[in-house]
């Protein structure tokens, strides 16, 4: 930031600032713009924008109903998802299915995808370059599906979609409008976290009830 701008900011009392290094989401939409769902799927399947394309077995585009009112966004495919080419098919996926059934939703009615479409080796956290490479794919998916509500699962997805650095325990707890994607979001715990911390299931259930209420109105 220029010295002059720092001076102006400090004059109005802003002493802590952070440069926005994220690419403009609208620009990225143009970059990977496809006219239809199949075209987008094809672009994503052939993607080699970051190094994850070298280690993946296959791309995990997402699965379900592309006209869904509920879109679920997780972090990234794990080893089972990488093998099968579908999101949330491992242990976390089984718990997710039960969570959805508890509010009378079946997988085929909704769409499920991830921030990253390729598996990070050893299930490590996504890197900035990987997130930015996949960003336009997700934005295009959201635009085409146009869901009524998005459920973001876990810290990584929720922080990215809400441009937050807070812990998931602080972010969750109601419907939040995302300035990043211009959609309402309910952030909740990742099923993998719930498998390790079953006591958090109570709060996760509160979040699911909010989703159900929104879908019913
Ligand atoms: N965890 C995720 O975040 N996504 C998946 O698809 C599987 C596990």
pLDDT per residue as tens digits for the range 92-105? 999 999 999 999 99
- Give residue 193's region: left, alpha or beta (phi > 0; psi -120 to 50): alpha
Q: Alpha-carbon distance 78 to 88, whole Å?
A: 8
To 10 degrees, what angle do helices 91-102 and 201-216 make?
A: 50
- Report long-range pairs for 157-165 (Cβ below 8 Å, ≥24 apart): 157/73, 157/74, 157/75, 157/114, 157/115, 157/187, 157/190, 158/185, 158/187, 158/188, 160/115, 160/131, 161/73, 161/185, 161/187, 162/187
pLDDT for residue 14: 82
Averaged confidence pLDDT in the chain: 93
Task: Report the pLDDT averaged over residues 43-60.
Answer: 97
pLDDT for residue 35: 76
Ligand 1 pocket, residue 189 CB under 6 Å: no
Q: Identify the helix (H) or strand (E) that includes residue 178.
A: strand 175-178
User: Would you say residue 178 has pLDDT above 70?
Assistant: yes
pLDDT for residue 21: 62
What backbone phi and psi angles, to 5 degrees, belong to 88? 45, 60
Between strands 111-114 and 63-64, the pairing is: antiparallel
CA of 88 to the centre of ligand 1 (A): 5
Q: Which atom of ligand 1 is nearest to the CA of 191?
A: 1
Ligand 1 pocket, residue 77 CB under 6 Å: yes
Residue percentage of the chain with pLDDT more than 70: 93
Output the pTM of the full model.
0.89
Tokens 């441009």 locate to 163
Please count the structural domains in the chain.
1
Task: Report the pLDDT averaged over residues 24-39.
Answer: 71
User: Would you say residue 39 has pLDDT above 80?
Assistant: yes
pLDDT in tens, 127-153: 999 999 999 999 999 999 999 999 999
Q: Identify the helix (H) or strand (E) that includes residue 149.
A: strand 149-153
| Ligand 1 binding pocket mutation candidate from 60, 75, 122 (most atoms within 8 A of CB) | 75
Ligand 1 pocket, residue 76 CB under 6 Å: yes
Structural domain range at position 164: 3-216
pLDDT in tens, 197-211: 999 999 999 999 999
User: Would you say residue 20 has pLDDT above 80?
Assistant: no
Residue 18: band (very low, low, confident or very high) from pLDDT cuts 50, 70, 90: low
pLDDT for residue 1: 57
Q: Are 97 and 54 in contact (CB under 8 A)?
A: no
Ligand 1 pocket, residue 191 CB under 6 Å: no
pLDDT for residue 55: 97
Q: Which atom of ligand 1 is nearest to the CA of 80?
A: 7
CATH number (domain holding residue 16):
3.40.470.10
């Amino acid at each position: 930031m220029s010295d002059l701008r720092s001076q102006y900011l400090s004059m109005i009392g802003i002493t802590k600032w952070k440069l926005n290094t994220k690419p403009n989401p609208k620009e990225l939409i143009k970059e990977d713009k496809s006219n239809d769902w199949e075209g987008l799927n094809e672009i994503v399947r052939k993607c080699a924008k970051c190094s994850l394309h070298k280690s993946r077995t296959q791309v995990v585009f997402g699965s379900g109903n592309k006209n869904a009112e509920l879109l679920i966004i997780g972090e990234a495919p794990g080893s089972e998802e990488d093998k099968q080419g579908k999101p949330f098919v491992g242990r976390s996926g089984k718990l997710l299915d039960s969570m959805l059934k508890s509010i009378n939703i079946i997988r085929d009615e909704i769409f499920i995808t991830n921030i990253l479409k390729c598996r990070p080796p050893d299930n490590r956290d996504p890197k900035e370059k990987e997130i930015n490479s996949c960003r336009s794919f997700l934005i295009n998916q959201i635009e085409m599906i146009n869901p009524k509500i998005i459920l973001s699962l876990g810290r990584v997805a929720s922080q990215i979609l809400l441009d937050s650095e807070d812990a998931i325990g602080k972010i969750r707890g109601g419907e939040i409008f995302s300035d990043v994607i211009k959609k309402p979001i309910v952030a909740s715990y990742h099923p993998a976290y719930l498998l390790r911390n079953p006591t958090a299931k109570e709060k996760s259930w509160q979040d699911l009830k909010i989703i159900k209420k929104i879908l019913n109105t």
